[in-house]
């Protein structure tokens, strides 16, 4: 028996796969990756694929980047671990926080490190509640989110996530989360309703919800600049200009979840610079280290930090933290990753090649399976429909997006099937125009293969 088959059987016998159709996996068995280089990855059977999803929206600088390997090796050899608890620091974490202060458009930010986007958004919930408790408004505890939002899988963040599969069977406490409607104009705009009218309806829904619940009970709204895992849903024109003043008027903080959009994905350093969000706090992960090490960060503004610092003094310490928060190896890799992005002008590159990607993808909007093509920078989604004119979706049992993803894989391209029969594209930020052409050609052949 080959090594591949030995590994496949061990996978089936011992591994518990996250975010997987477990019964389907039992029937089909795993695909096992062996190595990667640049924008391409290889499986244990020798097949080569263009990684059109940057892993999980995260391998920004691609695979096999020697500078990041060197950064990790040097730090492991020098100082492999030290917690940030009790005021102890390490050089990579300190320098990374200072570097992030140069990137993040929130003046006076402090940075709380974690290990994933999920735990960072979980910390966001705790922090906004801590802040309002500290300033004498303990009743402000509820969080606004939206349908189709994705914010993580912890008990708190799975509740914030607006996708039903992430709620089913988990027994989540949803009592402090208020889900507003999805901002997907293509799918949720009413017949004859203009985009501007749709935005106004979303704004009125927000205002009515605040009036019903009471602004005195709402701490924050959490939002992605554009929705990633919920279907690559771009905000309709004028959306943030309508939403943000409502939050300001009612002392509701805006938490910006930049886990997918951050560090160049939309053609700007952050999605909140592509769209006029003006957030109070920010969550970062994924491209922060190009996924070479697990690390996340929460940016906290000075006014929140000061209130938290004063309140923490009353109980002796700020009693939140993770063992691996600010892990020196992860921080060293993330710091070098951001330096490389600056040295290689990755954000400018993304803006240029991202515009090219959107131009090259545009003809696929006419494909019989594609009802709506949407994207910006180096991210795009293709919403599949059974009938283009009526926008009738495929029956869920057909799993059409999964069929297209499998067909693309047969063509040597990795894409991702998302809820609502959306096929997502999100390549490494280092992709060039020739590789974009390869991606689009394989995607087109994958759509044709699935259609036939």
- How is residue 62 written in tokens? 């691609």
Residue-level pLDDT at 152: 97
**What are the residues facing 50 on neighbouring strands?**
40, 413
pLDDT digits (tens, 9 = 90+) for 404-428: 999 999 999 999 999 999 999 999 9
**Average pLDDT of the chain to the nearest whole number:** 97
149: left (phi over 0), alpha (psi -120 to 50) or beta: beta
- Domains of the chain, start order: 31-64+345-451 (3.90.1150.10), 68-343 (3.40.640.10)
pLDDT digits (tens, 9 = 90+) for 388-399: 999 999 999 999
In this prediction, residues 57-74 reach a mean pLDDT of 98
User: What are the helix (H) ranges across 250-370?
Assistant: 271-274, 302-315, 328-343, 346-361
According to DSSP, the β-strands at 142-146 and 177-180 are: parallel
Q: What is the pTM of this model?
A: 0.96
How confident is residue 3, by pLDDT bands cut at 50, 70 and 90? confident
Residue 381 φ/ψ, nearest 5 degrees: -135, 140
pLDDT digits (tens, 9 = 90+) for 120-149: 999 999 999 999 999 999 999 999 999 999
């Amino acid at each position: 028996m080959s090594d591949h088959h030995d590994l496949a059987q061990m996978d089936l016998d011992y591994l518990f796969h996250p975010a997987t159709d477990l019964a389907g996996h039992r029937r089909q068995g795993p695909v096992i990756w062996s190595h990667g280089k640049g924008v391409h990855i290889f499986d244990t059977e020798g097949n080569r694929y263009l990684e059109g999803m940057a892993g999980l929206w995260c391998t920004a600088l691609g695979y096999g980047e020697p500078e990041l390997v060197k950064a990790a090796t040097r730090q492991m050899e020098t100082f492999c671990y030290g917690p940030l608890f009790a005021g102890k620091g390490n050089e990579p974490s300190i320098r990374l926080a200072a570097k992030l202060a140069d990137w993040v458009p929130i003046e006076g930010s402090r940075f709380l490190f974690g290990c994933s986007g999920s735990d960072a958004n979980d910390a966001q919930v705790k922090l906004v509640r801590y802040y309002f408790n500290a300033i004498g408004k303990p009743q402000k505890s509820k969080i606004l989110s939206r349908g189709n939002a994705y914010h993580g899988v912890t008990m708190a963040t799975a509740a914030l996530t607006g996708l039903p599969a992430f709620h089913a069977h988990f027994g989540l406490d949803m009592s402090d989360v208020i889900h507003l409607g999805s901002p997907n104009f293509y799918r949720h705009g009413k017949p004859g309703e203009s985009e501007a009218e749709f935005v106004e309806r979303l704004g009125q829904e927000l205002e009515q919800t605040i009036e019903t619940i009471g602004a005195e009970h709402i701490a924050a709204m959490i939002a992605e600049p554009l929705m990633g895992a919920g279907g690559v849903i771009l905000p309709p024109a004028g959306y943030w200009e309508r939403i943000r003043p409502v939050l300001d008027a009612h002392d509701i903080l805006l938490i910006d979840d930049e886990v997918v959009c951050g560090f160049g994905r939309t053609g700007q350093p952050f999605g909140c610079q592509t769209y006029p969000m003006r957030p109070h706090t920010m969550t970062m992960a994924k491209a922060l280290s190009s996924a070479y090490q697990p690390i996340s960060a929460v940016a906290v503004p000075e006014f929140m930090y000061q209130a938290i610092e004063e309140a923490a003094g009353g109980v002796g310490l700020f009693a939140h933290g993770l063992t691996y928060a600010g892990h020196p190896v992860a921080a060293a890799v993330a710091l070098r990753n951001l330096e490389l992005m600056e040295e290689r002008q990755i954000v400018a590159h993304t803006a240029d090649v991202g515009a090219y990607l959107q131009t090259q993808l545009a003809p696929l909007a006419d494909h019989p399976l594609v009802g709506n093509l949407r994207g910006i920078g180096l991210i795009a989604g293709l919403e599949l429909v059974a009938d283009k004119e009526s926008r009738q979706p495929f029956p869920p049992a057909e799993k059409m997006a999964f069929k297209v993803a499998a067909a693309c894989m047969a063509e040597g391209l990795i894409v991702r099937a998302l809820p609502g029969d959306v096929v997502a594209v999100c390549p490494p930020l280092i992709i060039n125009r020739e590789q974009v052409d390869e991606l689009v050609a394989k995607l087109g052949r994958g759509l044709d293969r699935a259609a036939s």
